[in-house]
Amino acid sequence: MPDYLDDLRLAHVLADAADAATTARFKALDLKVETKPDMTPVSEADKAAEEIIRGQLQRARPRDAILGEEYGVEGTGPRRWVIDPIDGTKNYVRGVPVWATLISLMEAGEGGYHPVVGVVSAPALGRRWWAAKGHGAFTGRSLTTATRIHVSRVAELADASFAYSSLSGWEEQGRLNGFLDLTREVWRTRAYGDFWPYMMVAEGSVDLCAEPELSLWDMAATAIIVTEAGGTFTGLDGRPGPHSGNAAASNGLLHEELLGYLNQRY
């Protein structure tokens, strides 16, 4: 089996370059922000970071395809880099430090593409997380100053911490009652949002998290990190991986209960 460590090292280099671009414009008074057709914001920093990552990938991995949130798909083949230049753009443009660059390598296999490398870099928080298939999940400032991470062993909902993004998406999908029932059963809830809950599941400080609507670039990197940390990452339909347009992540011990509540419709 490939070890993917060269690809992981490259992903760190890409993240370093993106961090430099995004932190330079964070809280800039003249930051340019536009509204995309789906009514979500995009800043000049989103575009610049993705352009930098694409440029480096074209030089370092010219045969690999690239899928990015801002510029779509480029190239074909069994390997595809998936990029979210700033996950948490709404936070970024308001000066909230909870945002990150998400970089993943996906490889074609049975049933489609599957993430084999993931890096989540949150420079305003001073945090970075990463994983490569078969090598575990880690956090730290660099590959040489890393701590291995693992999901929690909490086995009862009454003892579990559940993180989410917002209420509106659950209501729009008719899942709000089940969602609220879950919040009543768990020990603690917090709406951290975006990439952060998945990283907290991976490092064991949160036990459950879910979002009702996501894109592949929101999930590819977080999925491999959660699973390499010993957790479970699926869609709300239970399909493993980042393929369902939504996500549920857990320490694995509570996953079936998580899905049971979030799939209640009444």
249-259: pLDDT as tens digits: 999 999 999 99
Nearest-5° angle of CA 99, CA 75, CA 213?
40
Which residue type is seen at 180?
Answer: L
* Per-residue pLDDT tens over the stretch 22-50: 998 787 777 777 776 665 767 788 889 99
Give percent of the chain above pLDDT 90.
Answer: 76
- Put simply, whether the predicted model's pTM sits higher than 0.85 gets the answer yes
How does the average pLDDT of the chain come out, rounded?
Answer: 93
CA distances from 22 to 48, 93, 160 (A): 8, 11, 34
DSSP state of 157: G
> Which of 84, 96, 58, 49 is CA-nearest to residue 193?
96
Dihedral, CA of residue 54, residue 56, residue 58 and residue 63, to nearest 10: -110
Q: For residues 165 and 179, is the Cβ–Cβ distance under 8 A?
A: no
